[in-house]
Structure 1
């Protein structure tokens, strides 16, 4: 048996690690319940749909919950447990999006992997210019293998595809800025002082002064927010995360793979920011994976490189996240 008992303190430590994961607009749409008798966490989507215009079908909520699952599993291994993750345990019926059972000491294969737990607390989205230094090939190969182990595919686009993906992202950013409902939803995600969720103004990063890289604009001068402008890298290093299919299980797997990749990048000292805009428009999302059979379904476009670390964003306390069944709900 593992040396770390599953007491109340350990349960809250595991939930704190899970909740350090990234989520769309830092909405943190996850809630947890512990079945202590069976050493099993049930992971639910929050009852309130945080972004009805940006994420009407809940794909980004599932993606966000998947990132929390990755953190929860990494923390379990670090504390001496074997995490057994089951996605959509009740199928399409209402219930948890996943369960994580702590099934004794971890297998040797898990212990031979990098200790992702060390990166959980250091991972930050960085929305500032990166250096031109390329990320080494062996690191990219390790990232691709990590995504594959979680049921997803990760590839580095060539120059032509990179330009195509950036053009789709720019079109999506333009649409987001032109749609009153989307603009209002983005502004609502700016964190008020002392808030436990949302994006503080200091974490918004910069806008590309050259107009080449379409970083997301959550607000502007009309909202009382003046965003710094800077010249971003001319040839950004991009990674595209896809799955073969596009069901709810695939969304959760994509989230697990995304966080696995982000934690490995952190261990290697590589920064990342997420270009999600085009994934929020069905027609543009269909174009992201590219033409031809077998290209899969796109879930995230990552920009990676070396540069300054990002800023921490607020988090709900575990006393809010570790809830009783009556206040939990399945994702829509």
Structure 2
């Protein structure tokens, strides 16, 4: 069967959709290539955006790239294309994370993907207070199933495990403040609105207010700095937290977890949920293992999600597509 070559404009639009994904400190550690002759996208790590202090194994970078890969799959499905995705296609090139071929005759389209597309540009990390309104059980079940569809487990935390996790996050935040090189690394990825590099990192308008009260975990990207005019606010007393984990803990698992994370976030956005991340404890190996489900004791936690009803947060900058995409013959 003859298949017409994909228009370069559509290729660019697909990648523009992909890069709306979240990434650690909004570093956007991805690079895409598209080969016209094989109708194949490849996704690679941009190691110049690594964070050796907070993410020495590059697990966090893989999560962000996995989220971008899920967005690419969603965008392609929305445009009417079947896709076949291979993780880590070359064992001799560990920075090459995935290959996604369009219109593979052996593949069937995931019918649930196109419906997620409207959320791609609406999903934004929210570092603002949420209401105390509880997420309905049917929505929780749908989010759990979404993660399972990508090979990961989403578990909503209950007391007392939630209290343990909150304590670990608070301890990790303290560790971060006492680690000067880590604090400096974070500072590299935060900036004021008038920064000379507004295409990546977390701008001060997205820091959210300073937490005055409440138990919700927040990450203060201001660090030891004072942001003029920044407001104070009370956060949730009983935050709704969920852990995202996989049974194993290698690069392929990290990519699956990233895809599961983004599928959960997109579905949650369609359900009217806001979201943010609490990764502080995950970034410290001696704390990360304690985050596991206390009942099963299995699984490797990659993310703690805070979900609820509230403002979705502002858009954060993205690198121009021409900086992250190469189209080849």
Residue 143 in 1 paired to residue 146 in 2? no
Aligned to 2:38: 38
- Note the 1:1-332 alignment, pairs <5 A: 6-91=6-91, 93-103=93-103, 110-112=110-112, 115-191=115-191, 192=195, 195-210=198-213, 212-220=215-223, 222=225, 224=227, 227-291=230-294, 293-323=296-326
Cα distance in 2 between the residues matched to 1:149 and 1:155: 14
CA 1:145 to 1:265, structure 2 compared with 1: closer, same or farther past 3 Å?
same
Question: Which whole-Å deviations, capped at 9, do the CAs of 1:45-98 have from their partners, x for residues lacking one?
Answer: 003143111101100000010000000000000000012111101125345110
CA 1:300 to 1:167, structure 2 compared with 1: closer, same or farther past 3 Å?
same
RMSD (CA atoms): 2.2
Query: Which deviates more, 212-221 or 84-93?
Result: 212-221
Stretches of structure 1 that go unaligned for 5 or more consecutive residues are 326-332
CA contact (8 A) 2:177 2:223 kept: no
Cα distance in 2 between the residues matched to 1:296 and 1:2: 45
Cα distance in 1 between the residues matched to 2:156 and 2:137: 10
- Tell me how far 1:112 sits from its aligned partner: 4.9
> Secondary structure at the residue paired with 1:123?
coil
Cα distance in 2 between the residues matched to 1:240 and 1:95: 26
Q: TM-score, normalised by structure 2?
A: 0.92
CA 1:200 to 1:4, structure 2 compared with 1: closer, same or farther past 3 Å?
farther
CA 1:205 to 1:2, structure 2 compared with 1: closer, same or farther past 3 Å?
farther
Stretches of structure 2 that go unaligned for 5 or more consecutive residues are none
CA 1:71 to 1:185, structure 2 compared with 1: closer, same or farther past 3 Å?
same
- Tell me how far 1:323 sits from its aligned partner: 2.8
Query: Which deviates more, 193-202 or 174-183?
Result: 193-202
> Secondary structure at the residue paired with 1:116?
helix
CA contact (8 A) 1:33 1:324 kept: yes
Q: TM-score, normalised by structure 1?
A: 0.92
> Secondary structure at the residue paired with 2:84?
strand
> Secondary structure at the residue paired with 2:37?
helix
Aligned residues: 325
Question: Which whole-Å deviations, capped at 9, do the CAs of 1:285-316 have from their partners, x for residues lacking one?
Answer: 11111446552000000011101121100001
Question: Which whole-Å deviations, capped at 9, do the CAs of 1:109-148 have from their partners, x for residues lacking one?
Answer: 6235561111000000111111111111111101111100
CA 1:125 to 1:106, structure 2 compared with 1: closer, same or farther past 3 Å?
farther
Cα distance in 2 between the residues matched to 1:304 and 1:106: 37
Question: Which whole-Å deviations, capped at 9, do the CAs of 1:143-179 have from their partners, x for residues lacking one?
Answer: 1111001010001111211111111111111111111
> Secondary structure at the residue paired with 1:97?
strand
Aligned to 1:330: none
> Secondary structure at the residue paired with 1:209?
strand
> Secondary structure at the residue paired with 1:217?
coil
Question: Which whole-Å deviations, capped at 9, do the CAs of 1:255-297 have from their partners, x for residues lacking one?
Answer: 0000000000000110001001111101111111144655200
CA contact (8 A) 1:244 1:294 kept: no
> Secondary structure at the residue paired with 1:323?
strand
